[in-house]
Amino acid sequence: MADFAALRARMVERQLRARGIEDERVLAAMGAVPREAFLPRRWRHRAYADSALPIGEEQTISQPWIVAAICQALELSGSERLLEVGTGSGYSACVLSLLAAEVVSIERHEPLAESAREVLGSLGVDNVELLVGDGSVGLPGRPGFDAIAVHAAAPTAPPGLVAQLADGGRMVVPLGSDDSVDVLTVLRRRGEAIESEALSPCRFVPLIGEGGY
């Protein structure tokens, strides 16, 4: 039987810390969450591989470094109200639950949402609200999120999500480009102004919905 705790600790040191993840809160959260619990049984032996893995519905669980990079770019202190777009397996939501006060996560595939809900419940996570719907438009009736994490690539920053970002808030979103390589991008709201910073090339499934493709 695989020693998942040892594999997880090695992942934190070799895949994350050695490759530029410096936020100790993020490293601790990544070291605490059992990634194997969020994978179909047939893929659990590869839970800490440096790669994305299939989770059904033509979706994937992101490689650990991408999850950590998104969390680090959000600059979370622990008090934030956070919106996550694309729950997927629920792994990122679980990591974010250790870094923010409240996580609202939206998934468009109901089977994935139900599976994620079950795993999060089994782990005792009680600060994640999981919804089924079009995450590309966020939650227009509940604006003012301190942070937004988008786990699918959009052609441009979804305007509905930008509008729901609180002053001083950060959104991390993969943006598509002409050469077919997505770019992980952080947007920061300063009053009415939105500042943008490209972080790194990446590869995500497309953001499907009114605010995406």
Catalytic site positions: 62
* Whether the Cβ atoms of residue 207 and residue 85 lie closer than 8 Å to each other: yes
* Whether the Cβ atoms of residue 152 and residue 213 lie closer than 8 Å to each other: no
3-state secondary structure of 24: helix
Q: Write the DSSP assignment of 72-111 as a string of letters.
A: HHHT--S--EEEEE--TTSHHHHHHHTTSSEEEEEES-HH
d(CA 15, CA 70): 14
d(CA 187, CA 189): 7
* Whether the Cβ atoms of residue 112 and residue 61 lie closer than 8 Å to each other: no
Helix or strand run (H / E) with residue 61: strand 59-61
d(CA 128, CA 113): 12
